Amino acid sequence: MNLFISDGAELLIEGPADVQYISPQAVFARQGKLSARIGPGAIGFRIETPHANVIDRGTEFGISVDGDSHTSVVVYKGIVDLDVLGDVAKSGPPRHRLETGEAMSVDRDGQLSRITTVESSEFLEPPQLRHGASRPSSLIASVSDNARSLSTAKYYRVIPHGFCEDCQAYVDRMHEWNVIDKRGLPSFLVGGDYVMTYNDDKITSEIEVALEVSQPANVYVLLDDRVPTPAWLELDFVNTNWKVGGDDGWEEGDIHVGVGSGESVEQTFSVWRRVVKAPTTVVLGSLTSESPPPSIKVGRSMYGIVATPLSAR
């Protein structure tokens, strides 16, 4: 159900849930899944749980609460402050800031852990983006990487059956996937399960992304045409000779995306395919072996990932 708590604060709650109204600026969630969209008039809105207090700083975020175990928080857009409760809070700074593309879980003792995979079955989408019932399980069981635990809070967001015109490409940017010519999007990609990766990883030289596939599938990598083809991609994948477009969007830089086929396309990406005949883990590598300047100054984008059932063509 949808709740409008105060001017600018909208909550979506999925049952079974145990959520108590405290004030126009706060609720207590003992159990269940919630998502929030908080406007400028409600900044500071707070969701309290048995494990942490989540304070909005102008954002869209999701929370999953297991009353006896843990609280998990994912930031879709903006910033939240996470005030950790439990024993850890007594011995160190309890507040942690999470930004767009980051997610953490807090257990009953106040211990933090990184969430690497964000899927629709585990977290509600922001209220204005949710349409109908939860989507069925994804072909992509999980996504992880070789980043040291707690050295980052970034996550990979899995969107079942979600690849389409103008779908968001990255968890940390407003970039979108787009049509580039009259052929439209490759039909074999439309409706596929896809991963919103972390665009800043375009400069990470030693990253390995592990994609756990739950059944036989076609796994596609969308590679920025400005990037020399990595050896790992040529070894295990085949270039389909199809292209998709990249529509760059970045709110802090005041770069806006377009709406519709072929609108505001800045970059092109080549579609590479690998056939996976049984459930397995597919390991993808980095785009570079160098140590480049900050990501904002690098003329390339991180690759995208799409998976479809093997029977689909």
pLDDT above 50 for 12? yes
90/84 Cα distance (integer angstroms): 10
pLDDT at 181: 73
pTM for this entry: 0.78
Please write the tens of the pLDDT for every residue from 103-158. 999 998 888 899 999 987 788 887 655 444 444 567 899 999 988 766 788 999 99
173/251 Cα distance (integer angstroms): 8
Could you confirm whether domain 2-116 is CATH 2.60.120.1440?
yes
Domain residue limits, the chain? 2-116, 135-309
pLDDT at 6: 58
pLDDT at 209: 93
Q: Sort 150 into a burial class: Cβ within 10 Å, 0-12 / 13-18 / 19+.
A: exposed
pLDDT above 70 for 194? yes
Evaluate whether 69 touches 49 at the Cβ level (below 8 Å): no
Tell me the mean pLDDT in the region 21-31. Answer: 89
pLDDT above 60 for 254? no
Tell me the average pLDDT of the chain.
Answer: 83
What confidence category does residue 37 fall into, taking pLDDT thresholds of 50, 70 and 90?
A: confident
247/177 Cα distance (integer angstroms): 6
pLDDT at 192: 94
Nearest to 218 by CA among 198, 241, 193, 184: 193
pLDDT at 250: 58
pLDDT at 98: 92
140-145: strand order across its sheet: 140-145, 209-213, 280-284
